[in-house]
Structure 1
């Protein structure tokens, strides 16, 4: 992902005073700090992110200006008003980043909860000490993250619910951004899978072959198109049953009204999950079969025996190795 960081600012939220400590100067961008921030931003472009687009009248969007320091102070203050009612608060760094991606100006707001860590003080001290206020590691996702394309208004959001006054709420989207969010791609796929299985059950068609067909359809469409349309999945799964096909499409319009898109989002985790068929047999045998092999009748054949049991014939194997 081609990200060029231009400027970054860190403010800190104190869990003791419930107040903000504002930085006076931008962060010095060493190569390692630049890498750290880029990795955190890249984590926001994930299958767990909720997507949307600000309209020109959105109040939060209007606070994202060319002056990153002024924008960061304004947004931090608004964030505090939304967040301060949360229970079990900890120290947080609020990191604001101005960057360019594919030639367009972007803005990022990252919330990182500071961690306690054990530090080896060396042979001379001969002890380990608990130290506080450590940033999460390079590979960790931000605790919350917002990335906004300043040209188009499109945004990606990783958010967490907070507990306040005995109830849980998505304070970031509801109170700070004041938007209604569509489910994340990961959540949408889970909803699509559950709906397909439920409809198949109602037509007495939910067996291992249907589950395999569902996984293959999702993998094929995601790999070829980088998106999942209910109509395409319905045609693959229920091509011989018009009622089931229309039922699935109608249900998806209610639960996942938009096409599940992976543009700018890394789809590799979902493709990896869907690329193999995993079968667990009643005799304890477990099989992992790649989709192309599973769908090739010259490689694998499932045989229904007269007594209702199955036989699985694996054909044309050149070599066998013990793992």
Structure 2
């Protein structure tokens, strides 16, 4: 994983227009002029993909056309190779109307002496801009709709791939499912790149979290669920803070240390995804941000956001279960309070 986007050195880039409404791809015969501003734009998108916890590490299948093109990579044939890649993608897009139209930015770049090829699918966005017409009476300013706006540098791409040109059998990608013959499909990996691989860190975390919640919901009543879910969140936050991630068996042991039957049921659920012995190591702080606070909403409409270090400090906050089953929250030792 890259430390900063400044580690990236852009070698060459090209854009191919893949607008299904045109009936054919508009393939460029000339590379782009990568000035400093545009180079920063490309680096920003590559870095955002590379540092995403949605990224998956995959291996190309032998029948992948993209793999064979990467395997025979020649920088001098950059235009020709990327045209073939864009043609492959456009054929799939043209056959499946739900896949959004886009520009394909193909970028050859280096990190130190290592070479990569980025395939950035820039799905179009609709926005408004101004247009000026001049006539004998002066300027006529108007607002027009522009339907082919590309994602900005801070926006994440739905589909992108980073191919290691030193080891072209490996590719890392982010993707989104779209309807293919009426079925939600990861077309980018299955139909276009023809690769398969591990789940992303974000998906692994979501599956583990969901499996734990399902079992807790099954065995605990509503009042108990509130307490065990807060404790689960605290355990996960501690693992992220101290270890940067967690080993699934270790964290499941901690969550269900007094409930072996629940632990076994969670393990059975995770076994279906080959996650029973997995390690989850998110890299992006946004993925684990929700575990840094207890976000509570009462049935009376009161909303509480409690930093995890405060939740774990019993001198600061206490949850009291009353004889009638209701819950009281006691916030202690407040130095000052203000309205926002």
TM-score range, shorter chain: 0.7 to 0.9
Q: Does 1:240 align with 2:234?
A: no
**1:88: Cα distance to partner?**
5.3
Name the structure 2 match of 1:185: 201
Q: How far off is 1:261 after superposition?
A: 2.9
Match for residue 222 of structure 1?
240
Shift of residue 302, structure 1, vs aligned partner = 1.8
- Cα 1:10/1:230, change in 2 over 3 Å: same
So what's the TM-score if we normalise by structure 2?
A: 0.83
Distance change >3 Å, CA 280–CA 129, structure 1 → 2: closer
2:13 aligned counterpart, secondary structure? strand
Aligned runs of 1:289-308 on 2, under 5 Å? 289-308=306-325
Following superposition of structure 1 onto structure 2, how do residues 114-153 of structure 1 map, counting pairs within 5 Å?
A: 114-121=124-131, 124-152=139-167, 153=169
**How far apart, CA to CA, are the structure 1 residues paired with 2:26 and 2:199?**
34
What does the per-residue CA deviation read over 1:21-61, in whole Å, with 9 as the maximum and x for residues that have no partner? 22222111011111111122223232233332447886532
Q: In the alignment, is the contact (CA less than 8 A) between 1:183 and 1:256 conserved in 2?
A: no
Deviation of 1:90 (Å)? 5.8
Judge which range, 63-72 or 284-293, deviates more.
63-72
Q: Gaps spanning 5+ residues in structure 1: where? A: none
Partner of 2:11: 6
Contact 1:82–1:172 at 8 Å: present in 2 too?
Answer: no
Deviation at 1:201, TM superposition (A): 2.9
Establish whether residue 106 from structure 1 lines up as the match of residue 116 from structure 2: yes
Corresponding residue for 2:89?
79
State the partner residue of 2:217: 201
Q: With the length of structure 1 as denominator, give the TM-score of the two structures.
A: 0.87
Change in CA separation of 1:305 and 1:161 when aligned onto 2, cut-off 3 Å = closer
Task: Give the match's secondary structure for 1:112.
Answer: strand
Cα contact 2:120–2:157 (8 A) shared by 1:
yes
2-structure distance, mates of 1:11, 1:253:
42
Residues 63, 194 of structure 2: 8 Å contact kept: no
Question: Structure 1 stretch 275-284 or stretch 197-206: which is displaced more?
Answer: 197-206
Report deviation, 1:140: 2.1
CA distance in 1, matches of 2:171, 2:27: 25
Pairs within 5 Å for 1:241-320: 241-257=259-275, 258-262=278-282, 265-266=283-284, 268-320=285-337
How far is the alpha carbon of 1:198 from its aligned partner? 1.7
**Which structure 2 residue ranges, 5 or more long, are not aligned?**
133-137
Q: Provide the residue aligned with 2:46 in structure 1.
A: 41
SS at match of 1:27: coil
d(CA) in 2 for partners of 1:115, 1:284: 37
Aligned length: 320
